Structure 1
Amino acid sequence: MLRNLALERKEQLRNELKVQLPVPIDSKRYLMGRVAFIDLAIFSPFLALSSLFIYIFYSIGLLNQYTFIISSIPSVAIITFQMMKHPVRKEISYLKYKILWKYYFKKREKEFYYRKGALNMADKQDARRKIGIKATFADCYETTDKRFVRVFEVSSVNLSLANKTEKRSALDSFKVFMTTINFIKSIQFSQIAQPINLSRHLQIVLNKQKDEENLAKILLNQGYRKHIEEIQKSRDLVTRKRYITISKNIGSDRERALDELDQQSKLLMTKIESMTFDYTSLTIKQLNNDELTKLMYTCTDYDNAVSIGEHILDRASNRSSISVGEKTAKNLIEVLQRQLREKIN
């Protein structure tokens, strides 16, 4: 019965294009029932405080039911908040997710700025300090903890339509990859949702429509281009890309670290391309500096990445101390050109 319900729930989520995230394992050690050792550590100071108040009231002869209740308020409140749990994640207490987390959220810094030039670790509002990436260098991320991180985009294989033999072959091939590569501890697999990029398709459409003279077709083509642009700006339409990242500590010799990372990169690409899945195979591509910049921008500011699109690189490489919008920039250029033409020397 339970298995049927689980299968029905899984099928329902699949139809809704959703997945059910597994509940994290509760690593706390429990003394009895729902009381964990960490709970006792949190209760103890407040129980001691209540006991102290009761003793003081008793010493001066003012202990009664009212003073006893007042003395017990700290202990009762902390025990209640600690024993109340999150409705889904039972290992998280009400005190943690409703009080402490909200307090930290309100107190944290919410505005960060991208500073150009050398990174000053004392500048708390520099976005690079928070995300841990100083710059892109030699097709790598250079991090604030002195590592070079290289990112590879990898194609995917749809195993949901494969038979048992094909699935077994794919899993065996992946097992060989995992057991034969000697720097497995520095490898990270990730799947990142990104806005759909139809710029290449739009350019092809523009090239085909360049010499069109029929007014009806011109209007139809304009509507189609507008439709493509609206698709690119939509947050609901995304593509999921798979990445593999490897890292190398820089140490005292940057050139040596880069050489070792290059060797690992070549080995990784060879291993991935040699993985066989019957009639299909994987392709892998190393991201260059521009592609790393786009990926970083998309991961840190997805909403603006959707609207800005291909202009991310223009903004990242802009060395001016002033940034203006496209329309403002055009108006400014026209004013400056007019002043140059009309200026009397």
Structure 2
Amino acid sequence: MGKNLALEGKESLRNDLKVQLPVPIDSKRYLMGKVAFIDVAIFSPFLIISGVLIYFFYQFGLLNQYTFIFSSFPSIVIIAFQMIKHPIRREIPYLRYKVIWNYKFKKREKEFFYRKGAFDMSDKQDARRKIGIKSTFADCYETTDKRFVRVFEVSSINLSLSNKSEKRSTLESFRVFMTTINFLDSIQISQIAQPINLTRHMQHMSKRQKKGSEDNPIKTMLNTGYTNFIENIQKSRELVTRKRYIVISKKISSDREKTLDEIDQLSQLLMTKVESMTFDHSSLSIKQLNNDDLVKLMYTCVDYDNAVSVGDHIVERANDRSSVTVGQNTAKDLINTLQKQLLEKVN
């Protein structure tokens, strides 16, 4: 009876094009009930310490309820922390996720700096050392573990607006893609939230505004208000767009040129496979990110808040080799001040 209900449940999920995700696998071996062998290994040292303390107090005639509680306290605390489990992931004990992980989080380094110029592995505060990306080269990330990583931006299809036949066709095309590509182990699929970029829209609107608002103060005021409104939208952290990426990597051999040729071949094959995926009324587009796009993506993932405010000036700041970096308005004021001083200076 239970088996039939389980089969009916799976069939119902299959008809609705849904999948029941499995519970996280618990690889621990249990001695009895909820007590695993690893729990016993953690308890044992503290139980031995408690036993030694109780024996010590007993030998000297000091054993009473207070010394007994004092001796047993370490064991009771460890057993309680180890047996209380995570509310969702039952295989993770309280001692691990609430004590050890919190301690490591508080002790870890929280401030890193982007050093311009040559990469130095001995500099522990260089952000590139932590994220594992040395530089962008030939439209690839060059990583600290000697790999070339190439990123592709892929369009998406909204399955929630599709009927069942369209969903089946889409999922079947994706299944064929996953089963026919021969370098699946080097592929990573990611979805990354990024700030809204309305720069092109603002440029388009500014061109249209210049045509008919030069002699009309009302239109000028409305256009200024609309421009400020768009800029505020871009700076808002709540408005984001989700972009989908496919990432492939290749280990760098002694011959760098050969490795680049190999990843170029994989790139062409991947783009062909994605573009050849057939759907009822739509298709996917795929674009390989160039060096500037890779810099923007890395900056957005590392420092999202500043990426919202900096916008398209990310690449300029990343490629700036000057030891001093200033904003656009500050740079203009500085140049005007220096020019004025040069003109007024008396030799």
* Distance 1:22-1:198 versus aligned 2 partners, 3 A rule: farther
Q: Secondary structure at the match of 1:248?
A: strand
Deviation string 1:22-74 (CA, Å, 9 cap, x unpaired) is 87444433333322222212111111111122222233343333222211111
Q: Distance in 2 between matches of 1:51 and 1:252?
A: 60
Give the structure 2 partner of residue 94 of structure 1.
Answer: 94
1:1-345 counterparts in 2 under 5 A?
24-211=24-211, 212=213, 213-345=215-347
The amino acid across from 2:183 in the alignment is F
CA distance in 2, matches of 1:198, 1:172: 35
For structure 2, the 5+ residue unaligned runs are: 1-20
CA contact (8 A) 2:166 2:280 kept: yes
Q: Take 2:159 and 2:106, find their aligned partners in 1: how far apart are those partners?
A: 44
Letter in 1 for 2:297: L
Report deviation, 1:287: 0.2
> Partner letter of residue 320 of structure 1?
S
Q: How many residues align?
A: 326
Partners of 2:24 and 2:207 in 1: how far apart?
52
User: Bigger shift: 167-176 or 264-273?
Assistant: 167-176
User: Could you state the TM-score of these two structures normalised by the residue count of structure 2?
Assistant: 0.89
Distance 2:333 2:174 in 1: 56
Which is further off, 229-238 or 334-343?
A: 334-343
**Larger deviation: 281-290 or 53-62?**
53-62
Normalization by structure 1: what TM-score?
0.90
Q: 1:151 to 1:92 in 2, by over 3 A?
A: same
Cα shift readout 1:207-264 (whole Å, capped 9, x = no counterpart): 1111322111111111111111111111111111110000000021111110000000
1:339 is displaced (CA, Å) by 1.9
Identity among equivalent pairs (%)? 73
C-alpha separation in 2, matches of 1:203 and 1:58: 85
Greater CA drift, 242-251 or 23-32: 23-32
Cα displacement (A) at 1:117: 1.8
The DSSP-based 3-state class of the residue aligned with 1:281 is coil
Counterpart-to-counterpart distance in 2, 1:144 and 1:269 = 26
CA contact (8 A) 2:235 2:308 kept: yes
Per-residue deviation, 1:305: 0.9
Distance 1:237 1:118 in 2: 36
Identify if the C-alpha distance between structure 1 residues 150 and 113 changes in structure 2 by more than 3 Å, giving closer, same or farther.
same
**Range moving further from structure 2, 42-51 or 21-30:** 21-30
Counterpart of 2:118, as a letter, is A
Distance 1:310 1:252 in 2: 36
Query: Contact between 2:117 and 2:321, CA under 8 Å: does it hold in 1?
Result: no
Q: Once structures 1 and 2 are overlaid, which stretch shifts more, 186-195 or 87-96?
A: 87-96
C-alpha separation in 1, matches of 2:175 and 2:87: 38
Deviation for aligned residue 1:312: 0.8
The AA in structure 1 aligned to 2:187 is I
Tell me what 1:11 maps to: none
Residue-by-residue CA offset, 1:144-185 (whole Å, 9 max, x unaligned): 100000000001111222222222221221122112111110
RMSD: 1.8
Tell me the SS of whatever aligns to 1:120. Answer: coil
Q: SS where residue 295 of structure 1 aligns?
A: helix
**Corresponding residue SS for 1:192:** strand
CA distance in 2, matches of 1:48, 1:320: 62
Q: Secondary structure at the match of 2:182?
A: coil
